[in-house]
Structure 1
Amino acid sequence: MINKKTIAIIFFVLPFCLVNAQDITTQLYETYETFKEPTLGERRIKHKDIQPLLEKYRNNPKFNVDRVGTSIGGKSLSLLSIGSGETDVFLWSQMHGDEPTATQAIFDILNFLDSPQFKEEKEAILSNLTIHFLPMLNPDGAELFQRRNLLGIDINRDALRLQSPEGKTLKRVRDSLEADFGFNLHDQSTYYNAERTEKPATISYLAPAYNYEKDINEVRGNAMKIIVFMNDILQKYAPGQVGRYNDDFEPRAFGDNIQKWGTSTILIESGGYPNDPEKQEIRKLNYVSILSAIYTIAKENYKQIDIAEYEKIPENNRMLFDLKIVGATYNLLGKDYILDLGINQVEVDYEGHDDFWYSSRIWDQGDLSTYYGYETFDAKGFQIVQGKVYPQTVSDIEKVKTLNFKELLSQGFGFIKVANIPEKLLNSPVPLHLVGENYKRPDFRLQPGINPTFFLKKDGKFTHAVINGFFIDLESENVNIPNAMIFR
């Protein structure tokens, strides 16, 4: 029977452990720029970008760096290891080629582990743990910035058949290490939100089930405890912006199987954060939360965390738009209707997959009262109006750039005819669409799938513009957007 003294000890020890961990977390957050790897500044990183970093650690006696496999396209897969402890922690990233946030964070963590700072904390980590990193498991997918590998399969659904060399490598490394803990690092869509809130699921977690019954044994329970710990940390920096994935068992998935094979597996998904298209703030949160988790594994104070707290983390929902316009008046065939519009700013890669531009779409329309937006505008009392074509044809792009865009937008012009549009130009560098001399504006019909370009009008005045899905307040001095479209 537990007496009052025992209960008092339990309630004293748990907060004490969390406070100690929070102390290092605060320091990690505040000193992050010291350890951030500067050569990996944007999301579309490739195999060649990480090779000089791997070579640096290969020549560093603190680390072991081994080639452990080869992708279908012949690119090397490398494992970096550091530490001398009996507990093995295994982290792998970019199983999906277009999910690079944690790959960047891994190299930030490696910089931390190689630095002279945090000597006491690193001693605790490296004497108790051996940490293994397998960054960029799908380098061929990363080259094309696509989810799947060159075989066209999702590596995360190849844990049973093992047809991909990348999947074979992951299983072989896991089995050889018999890792105690595994961090399965991904990116998720920026359109996920924390359940029934307008907040994006900036980070989402899952302790995958290892059977259809979703049983909780010690292995899975330890993963849940680590997730509770990490959630507690992130609430300080992204309050309310943590989600929990549905834990239905997927028998083909690596996370579910690695859990079943005896490694306490923590799935981390990097989602969205306002005004962070390159996910650099989320990268920082990965760095802080993963390192803090590694520290608590080394100190073993995660063991006292209550598993029941795991279920209190809000579930992931996919109920976010980039832009949500609420209650606008739309006239169709002579009759007014009230519409909400959900608009997403869709990325399109340039050739070479080093950068991107936007080709936005109306994603949904109607009653969107159960949805949210990164940006939301209450358009009650505003009329949706089609954009006009500027009556004069402009000779070339350089002449276009000399125009007063704010003035044109304020008059309801959304399109400019250009005599000479370079064939290689894929999008408009100005906040109006560029069209050819023979362009005929189609009938105005709002529907999902079309490019969102229109104006909002109130009391006879154009007040706001939506050009290529980007919202422009016409009272603002800044009417710039990333890009508009070209319709030849």
Structure 2
Amino acid sequence: MKHITLAVFCLFSFMGISQSNNITTQLYDTYDNYKESAIGKRRIKRNDIQPLIDKLSTNDKFKVSTVGKSIGGLDLSLISIGSGETNVFLWSQMHGDEPTATQAIFDILNFFDSEDFKKEKEAILANLTVHFLPMLNPDGAELFQRRNLLGIDINRDALRLQSPESQTLKRVRDSLDADFGFNLHDQSTYYNAERTEKPATISYLAPAYNYEKDINETRGNAMKIIVFMNDILQKYAPGQVGRYNDDFEPRAFGDNIQKWGTSTILIESGGFPKDIEKQEIRKLNYTSILSAIYTIAQKSYESIGIEEYEKIPENDRKLFDLKLTGVNYNLKGNTYTIDLGINQIEVDYPDHNSFWYSSRVLDQGDLSTYYGYETLEASDYTIKQAKAHPKTFNTIDEVKGLNFKDILKQGYGFVRMEKTPATVINSPFPVHLIGPKYKVPELKLEPGINPTFFLEKAGVIEYAVINGFLINLSENNINIPNSMIYK
């Protein structure tokens, strides 16, 4: 009789997981129906989401309340839906420059407001009450910076609760006595899945609640949810999932919320090739989080083995935006073979609404254990110094009229202007703009310099590297986001 009961239990568990996989495919395929178009770029502010919150507050499906204020006086809102006894709590953007999941939250709210997926939504909302606290650090979001106006990392303020944002998070968690918590972040795009060239597009952690890293039912349930979500993501981003080190951090909210009895799932959105604004990663957040909410409602996660959690590759940080392998470099009469690792670093414009690039050589030497989003096997190429164009130009329009492909092929990476416009922060062209007295320095490769040089093969320049962007001079399109201005 016991064997029959166990078989029936396993059958129902399998059916529950299969149903979750079914809804996952449908969620991914129909995502565009629910994507909130008003917040399509990363540098979103409280003013961008306030109209969306205002609209939800007039909708009887949702309960919207102001649960606190930031140091700068901006509202912190809690949006709730459902009538079930199990409380699921999601909070995002406790770091102001980590907005991907905030966008996904409003996509999820659009899903709940739609007339679609009636059966699945009834199952979720009858069994769960789901609570969203988007943009916990709106002051940081305003400046697109990690920390709040007090200059502290909110995620290291769970013990002292020095900032009002931290106090709000603790108070809301306690008032809900949440059963499950989703701690939603962005991580560096330079993380990769351990020992692979694949970016850690999504990384997970079931935080430890003590130094011994014990696994009780609370933490074990978080691990099961992560295993479930990892299985989902392998379909859409195979091999691109990482797992954070679980050393206990006594000041961190995730570790403490786990300790306080909420099964806590940390989700970090990393990088995805050619997804600068992280919109594909946003879609993966939407799909996997909603699927996880559904499996919590169905309780189908309960049969998942936690041993699969440890099989998720650990996070590593060995990705560059551009890697040149085995390039030849002449120095003091000798030729050396080195690898170069280059990162295209974002710099915010003063309004923090968009950005430009100021790239750097991050490392050089033997980088055989590192990877690149873009990699060029350069053993046939020799690095050549970029020169200044011999003519001095008076206006931006004159420079705009240049045939950039031709001048790059001649080894000119700098164009001199009589006067560079004071209001222009960077060069909109695939060459650097320099002032009338600027002297182009002799190229000396070292970490920290702006990567600008040419790659020559048998006396012919075939590639340019301008501001860290690789330009194939055999192609017609040689545009890059921007170059630099040196006065």
Q: How far off is 1:11 after superposition? A: 5.9
1:136 maps to which residue?
135
1:174 maps to which residue?
173
Aligned pairs for 1:15-414 within 5 A: 15-414=14-413
Task: For residues 404-445 of structure 1, give each alpha carbon's deviation from its aligned partner in whole angstroms, at most 9, with x where no partner exists.
Answer: 001111111100001121111110001000001111111210
Q: CA distance change for structure 1 residues 14 and 335 in 2, over 3 Å: closer, same or farther?
A: farther
Matched to 2:262, the amino acid is: T
Task: For residues 231-254 of structure 1, give each alpha carbon's deviation from its aligned partner in whole angstroms, at most 9, with x where no partner exists.
Answer: 000000000000000000000000
Cα pair 1:390 1:417 within 8 Å, conserved:
yes
Task: For residues 346-383 of structure 1, give each alpha carbon's deviation from its aligned partner in whole angstroms, at most 9, with x where no partner exists.
Answer: 00000110000000000000000000000000001210
1:445 maps to which residue?
444
Task: For residues 455-482 of structure 1, give each alpha carbon's deviation from its aligned partner in whole angstroms, at most 9, with x where no partner exists.
Answer: 0000110010100000001101110000
Cα pair 1:234 1:285 within 8 Å, conserved:
yes
Q: CA distance change for structure 1 residues 87 and 387 in 2, over 3 Å: closer, same or farther?
A: same
Q: CA distance change for structure 1 residues 377 and 2 in 2, over 3 Å: closer, same or farther?
A: farther
Cα pair 1:64 1:82 within 8 Å, conserved:
yes
- Mapped to 2, the partners of 1:487 and 1:297 lie a distance apart of 56
Matched to 1:262, the amino acid is: G
Q: How far off is 1:15 after superposition? A: 4.0
Cα RMSD after superposing both structures: 1.2
- Mapped to 1, the partners of 2:302 and 2:486 lie a distance apart of 60
- Mapped to 2, the partners of 1:9 and 1:407 lie a distance apart of 73
Cα pair 1:428 1:486 within 8 Å, conserved:
yes
Cα pair 1:329 1:384 within 8 Å, conserved:
yes
Task: For residues 14-34 of structure 1, give each alpha carbon's deviation from its aligned partner in whole angstroms, at most 9, with x where no partner exists.
Answer: 543322111101110111010
Cα pair 2:100 2:281 within 8 Å, conserved:
yes
- Mapped to 1, the partners of 2:410 and 2:141 lie a distance apart of 44
Matched to 2:183, the amino acid is: N
- Mapped to 1, the partners of 2:356 and 2:198 lie a distance apart of 25
Task: For residues 66-98 of structure 1, give each alpha carbon's deviation from its aligned partner in whole angstroms, at most 9, with x where no partner exists.
Answer: 000000000010000000000000000000000
Cα pair 1:348 1:359 within 8 Å, conserved:
yes
Q: How far off is 1:6 after superposition? A: 6.9
Q: Secondary structure at the match of 2:394?
A: strand
Matched to 2:350, the amino acid is: E
- Mapped to 1, the partners of 2:468 and 2:13 lie a distance apart of 48
Q: CA distance change for structure 1 residues 336 and 15 in 2, over 3 Å: closer, same or farther?
A: farther
Cα pair 1:397 1:420 within 8 Å, conserved:
no
Task: For residues 310-357 of structure 1, give each alpha carbon's deviation from its aligned partner in whole angstroms, at most 9, with x where no partner exists.
Answer: 000000000000000000000111111111000000000001100000
Task: For residues 49-75 of structure 1, give each alpha carbon's deviation from its aligned partner in whole angstroms, at most 9, with x where no partner exists.
Answer: 111011001100111100000000000
Cα pair 2:16 2:298 within 8 Å, conserved:
no
Matched to 2:448, the amino acid is: G
Normalising by the residue count of structure 1, what TM-score does the alignment of the two structures yield? 0.98
Task: For residues 258-314 of structure 1, give each alpha carbon's deviation from its aligned partner in whole angstroms, at most 9, with x where no partner exists.
Answer: 000000000000000000110000000000000000000000000000000000000
- Mapped to 2, the partners of 1:303 and 1:405 lie a distance apart of 61
Normalising by the residue count of structure 2, what TM-score does the alignment of the two structures yield? 0.99
Q: How far off is 1:222 after superposition? A: 0.2
Q: Secondary structure at the match of 1:420?
A: coil
Cα pair 2:385 2:442 within 8 Å, conserved:
no
Matched to 1:270, the amino acid is: S
- Mapped to 1, the partners of 2:135 and 2:418 lie a distance apart of 46
Identity of aligned residues (%): 72
Q: How far off is 1:255 after superposition? A: 0.1
- Mapped to 1, the partners of 2:12 and 2:432 lie a distance apart of 62
Task: For residues 167-210 of structure 1, give each alpha carbon's deviation from its aligned partner in whole angstroms, at most 9, with x where no partner exists.
Answer: 00000000000000000000000000000000000000000000
Gaps of 5+ in 1: none
Q: How far off is 1:12 after superposition? A: 4.5
2:430 maps to which residue?
431
- Mapped to 2, the partners of 1:426 and 1:392 lie a distance apart of 22
Q: Secondary structure at the match of 2:339?
A: strand
Matched to 2:434, the amino acid is: V
Gaps of 5+ in 2: none
- Mapped to 1, the partners of 2:362 and 2:295 lie a distance apart of 42
Q: How far off is 1:9 after superposition? A: 5.3
- Mapped to 1, the partners of 2:428 and 2:70 lie a distance apart of 38
Q: Secondary structure at the match of 2:266?
A: strand
- Mapped to 2, the partners of 1:354 and 1:245 lie a distance apart of 30
- Mapped to 2, the partners of 1:406 and 1:10 lie a distance apart of 67
- Mapped to 2, the partners of 1:136 and 1:358 lie a distance apart of 26
2:468 maps to which residue?
469
Q: CA distance change for structure 1 residues 386 and 197 in 2, over 3 Å: closer, same or farther?
A: same
- Tell me which moved more, 387-396 or 215-224: 387-396
Q: Secondary structure at the match of 2:353?
A: coil
Q: How far off is 1:13 after superposition? A: 4.6
Check if 1:487 corresponds to 2:462: no
